[in-house]
Amino acid sequence: MLRTSIPPTVFDCGPLPFTRPRAATVLSTEVPKFSGSVIHKITLLLLLAFLAIPLSAREGVEDELYVYRYGRVTTVELLEEDPAVWRSMPVFPVRDSADVVQWYAAKDELPQSVMDDFDRWVFIRKSLGMVEKAVREENWEEAGYLIDGIRAYQEKVAGDTLPSAAKVRAEKLYNCIARPKIPFMVSLAAGLLLFILTILSFTRVRSVPKGMTVAAIVLSSLLLAYLSLVLGLNWYVSGHAPLSGTYCVMLLIAWLALLLALPLCRRIPVLLPSGLMLAGFSMLVASLSFADPSLTAANPALQSPFLAVHVLSMMVSYSLLGLAALNGVLGLAVKSASQRLAGISRRILYPAVFFLTAGIILGSFWAKSAWGSYWSWDPKETWALITWLIYGSVLLCASLGVFRRPRLFHLCTLLAFGAVLFTYFGVNFILGGMHAYA
């Protein structure tokens, strides 16, 4: 039996409740017959798709097998995806002579205290391989027993450094819902549909159905609640605000886009489809493989009191500039409404440039506390300044001669947004610099 291969002196788990394998979610392929227009049917389907998020999250929290890695929760789902990853993960705590907990992987060179304890040495070297074998064979009872044993050893050695039961539950929930795959698809689909209907309403082909607008507001509210939950769980479990890394920044932009669009959509209806589309694109980026949702300790450079207001100011400006760019697309698509939409874009750009200015100034104070100088011509700093100059020029030129033409103004706002995209993605992935973690 596999179970007897681990020395019993390492841990004593006793009778353990074994975890059942997670059942596959079965989606019906039968399309129900709804009364009403096609638009209402599509809206209902989008709302039903969104409701799959809490259901799948609840199932994951109940059935996940997990161990700790550096005090963070690591689930068996990762072992199913890539067994080699687990063998390189530091999941075995060892206290040194100074009573400091050090974490080791199964293949690491172990300290002398472990080498002198044959039972513990065998346990650390062999237990994860046995878990891998049990998972491959889908022997979930054996896998549950072994993983509970590893966790019992972790709690015995490093119990005072591990998260509380509440944080473990919160982190398991976060791990289940962190990737916004369903939300980004729903947000993009709803935003695109509403965007097309808005274009048609401006050309007087047909007006946007009231039910569609109400459903879009409800959907936006649900998406905002989802993003608030994910960001809140990230903050609660990690112990610091989710303000760094591509994943957190993209979710923050999505959250701000919906937060700005919802209260203003009654006065400026075109903001609702733009907010949904911007949120959808941001969540799409957060769903890609390079956007890592893992919870990590805060970088020391990110612990300045100026960081939160700096990042929030920049993200508010980026969200507003994104809304202005999408409004520019609408203005270029609908010539008859171009003048009216240009006025909306100007009203968006003024606060956007204000927050961009404030963000750059606050960032200089953060740079002083983190790196010792207010300005060092880092690529991110330089391109933030270039973006500020471009949008300042757009606003100034809007009152001059040929630039008063609304369609040219919309084209300028759309092209200017390319500077925003390069400031974030281009600098992060091409130029690097001190802001590479941002």
DSSP string, 39-82: HHHHHHHHHHHHTHHHHHHHHHHHH--EEEETTEEEEHHHHHH-
DSSP notation for 289-351: TTS-----PPPGGG-STHHHHHHHHHHHHHHHHHHHHHHHHHHHH-GGGHHHHHHHHHHHHHH
pLDDT score, position 60:
40
Spatial neighbors of 325 by CB under 8 A, at least 6 apart, are 413, 414, 416, 417
| Mean pLDDT value of segment 32-44 | 49
What is the average per-residue pLDDT within 43-65?
Answer: 49
Task: Report the share of the chain in percent with pLDDT over 90.
Answer: 16
The angle formed by the CA atoms of residues 409, 415 and 419, to the nearest 5 degrees, is 130
Of 47-56, 315-324, 357-366, 391-400, the range with the lowest mean pLDDT is 47-56
Pairing label, strands 72-75, 66-69: antiparallel
Question: Taking the domains of the chain in order of start, what are their residue ranges?
Answer: 3-22+65-162, 171-431
Report how far residue 223's alpha carbon sits from residue 276's, in angstroms, rounded to the nearest whole number: 9
Residue 276 above 70 pLDDT? yes
The predicted structure's pLDDT at residue 8? 44
From 3-17, 83-97, 270-284, 327-341, the region with the lowest mean pLDDT: 3-17
Give residue 12's pLDDT band: very low, low, confident or very high (50, 70, 90): very low
- pLDDT for 134 equals 81
User: What is the reported pLDDT for 321?
Assistant: 92
pTM of the entire predicted model: 0.72
pLDDT of residue 88: 72
**How confident is the model over 183-226, as pLDDT tens digits?**
999 899 888 888 888 887 877 656 677 778 888 899 999 999 99
Within the chain, how many helices (H) and strands (E) appear? Answer: 16, 4
Kindly tell me if the per-residue pLDDT of 106 is higher than 50.
yes
pLDDT reading at 160 higher than 80 = no
Position 227 confidence tier, pLDDT thresholds 50, 70, 90: very high
pLDDT at 63: 42
pLDDT band at residue 389 using 50, 70 and 90 as cut-offs: very high
Region 56-73: mean pLDDT is 50
